[in-house]
């Protein structure tokens, strides 16, 4: 559940700093050799990010209705080992930084049964308005508001 705040939206609970989602690699995500195609990884990262946000009680749809859009400005993926058709994978994400207008995430994709990290990744998301102009993140979404201090 969300409450109305800056931008017409704010989470009802503190946003999580980490999240994980378990997925099964589909046939359509693979090449003819049964190995996950590189284009399949970006949607997996997005699923992990949006589900982490949903755990805080906010959906991307609600954010966009409030005029807050997050666009990918940078994505980096390092493939350590192949992921194959029908593998169960855990996509783990963590908020690792940001600024007034951006959020940075890191990811690990691991085979669920073995917990072996197969892929590492990072993204930078920039906040824009409905016309695509850079705008500040809502205060409740800024990285320093929900990243662990230590």
pTM of the model: 0.88
**pLDDT at residue 77 is higher than 50:** yes
Whole-number pLDDT of residue 114: 83
- Beta-carbon neighbour count of residue 1 at 10 Å? 7
Q: Which pLDDT band holds residue 148 (cuts at 50, 70, 90)?
A: very low
CATH code of residue 76 = 3.10.129.10
Number of domains, the chain: 1
pLDDT digits (tens, 9 = 90+) for 113-123: 887 999 999 99
Residue 39, Cβ density class (10 Å: 0-12 exposed, 13-18 middle, ≥19 buried): exposed
First to last CA, the chain: 29
Structural domain for 41, as ranges: 2-146
Residue 70, Cβ density class (10 Å: 0-12 exposed, 13-18 middle, ≥19 buried): buried
Residue indicated by tokens 């990811």: 107
């Amino acid at each position: 559940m969300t409450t109305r705040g800056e931008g017409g939206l704010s989470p009802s609970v503190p946003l999580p700093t980490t999240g994980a989602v378990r997925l099964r690699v589909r046939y359509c995500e693979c090449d003819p050799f049964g190995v996950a195609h590189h284009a399949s990884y970006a949607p997996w990262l997005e699923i992990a990010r949006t589900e982490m946000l949903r755990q805080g009680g906010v959906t991307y749809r609600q954010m966009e209705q409030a005029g807050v859009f997050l666009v990918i400005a940078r994505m980096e993926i390092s493939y350590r080992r192949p992921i194959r058709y029908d593998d169960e994978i855990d996509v783990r994400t963590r908020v690792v930084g940001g600024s007034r207008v951006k959020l940075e995430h890191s990811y690990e994709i691991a085979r669920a049964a073995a917990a072996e990290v197969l892929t590492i990744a990072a993204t930078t998301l920039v906040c824009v308005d409905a016309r695509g102009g850079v705008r500040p993140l809502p205060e409740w979404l800024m990285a320093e508001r929900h990243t662990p201090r230590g």
